[in-house]
Structure 1
Amino acid sequence: MGWAIDKHMRSELVERALKRALWCRKPPKGLMVHTDQGSQFISNNYRILLGLETQAKHESSRKLLG
């Protein structure tokens, strides 16, 4: 798990949290990441970072709930 604190919930915030989680935990390839459907989690930078670092699969709550 990673975390970051800011005054606003922007994509840069979730990118910092993801980088911290990746640095601390060193997850295996193919990691599954679940998030809510916030725009921060579908930004291009977040998805690129997630894919390049972990080859992870990303599922938002919208996809999971149908």
Structure 2
Amino acid sequence: MTLPKNVGAMDRNIRLVAAGILILAGLMTGKIILDILGLIVLATGWLGFCPAYLPFKINTIKNSES
């Protein structure tokens, strides 16, 4: 099963930076929820697929990226 790509380059970069910040904040504060959220955001950025976009038919990939 292949996941349809629906996360564009800019969206992906923002997610990867946000994931790093969340994971780092979770490690520094000891709050596991921040680490879990960071891992979810990291996974969506790395895979290029966001399941939350599916019901709303959102696709941030520009035509030149596909």
Same fold (TM over 0.5): no
**Higher relative contact order structure (alpha carbons within 8 Å, sequence separation ≥ 6):** 2
More strand by share: 1
Instruction: Point out the structure with max Rg over C-alpha.
Output: 2
TM-score by length of 2: 0.32
User: TM-score normalized by structure 1?
Assistant: 0.32
Would you tell me which structure has more helix in proportion to its own residues?
2
